[in-house]
Amino acid sequence: MLAGLAFVGELLSVSFFLLFFSLGAVVALALAFADFGLVAQAIGFIVATVLSMIVLRPALLNRLSLRGGEEYAGHRGITGESAVVTEPIEAGGRGTVRVGSGEFWTARTMYSGDGIGKGAKVRVLDTDGLTALVEPVETEGGEQ
């Protein structure tokens, strides 16, 4: 019963804490089926719970952290990247750009002046919080 409650609690909290009580309860249950006494079951529960917390919890957290998957570039990681304007950037206002293969950012021009139309290519010069500061990229014909 304790194993089931701890497992359901873990599913609701996703803290990787109650899961190990569930494992300890399963060990105690196995000891009960093997006709060990209550003291052995309690010791088995405590040892299995503590050992699994010490050994398995760090491994699970490391495996599920961002280090195990795709790395997050962070806001400084887009500086210098090329982008395409997806919503026009009005003069003195904001718009939206797509950086790289699909990361969308709110954007404004780095230098006040004319707006930048939809579909224009821009370069990210810096960031201000979650806003990309951009400048238009000149095309081969000298247009912006």
Domains, the chain, with CATH or none: 2-68 (no CATH), 75-136 (2.40.50.140)
What percent of the chain is predicted at pLDDT more than 90? 27
Predicted confidence at residue 64, as pLDDT, reads 64
Indicate the average pLDDT of the chain: 79
> pLDDT by residue (tens digit) across 3-15?
677 667 666 665 6
3-state DSSP call for residue 97?
strand
pLDDT digits (tens, 9 = 90+) for 102-130: 788 889 887 767 788 999 999 988 888 78
**In degrees to the nearest 10, what's the CA dihedral of 66, 72, 76, 82?**
170
